[in-house]
Homo-oligomer: A and B are copies of this chain.
Amino acid sequence: MNRLLDFRKPLILASASPRRRQLLSQLNLEFEVRVARIDEEKLARGLQPRDYVMKLAQSKAAAIARDAGDAWVIGADTIVVLDNNIINKPADADEACAMLRRLSGRTHQVYSGFAIIDAGTGASLADYRRTDVEFRELDEDEIRDYVAGGSPLDKAGAYGIQDDFGAVFVREVRGCYYNVVGLPLELLYRRLRECLTTGITAE
Q: Which residues of A come within 8 Å of B, CB atoms?
A: 3-4, 26-28, 136, 141-142, 145, 161, 163-164, 167-178, 185-186, 189-190
Contacts and interface: CB of A to CB of B under 8 A. Distances in A.
Given A4-B145, A142-B4, A164-B28, A176 B170 contact: yes
Contacts of A26: 163-164, 167
Contact of A4 (B136, B141, B178): B141
24 contacts: A3-B145, A4-B142, A4-B145, A26-B164, A26-B167, A27-B164, A136-B186, A136-B190, A161-B177, A167-B178, A167-B185, A168-B186, A168-B189, A168-B190, A169-B186, A170-B176, A171-B176, A172-B175, A172-B176, A173-B173, A173-B174, A173-B176, A174-B174, A177-B177
A87 to B, nearest CB: 21
Contacts of A190: 136, 168
Contacts of A163: 26
A3 B145 CA distance: 8
Nearest to A148: B3
Contacts of A175: 172-173
Nearest to A146: B4
A173 B173 CA distance: 6
A27 B189 CA distance: 31
A164 to B, nearest CB: 5
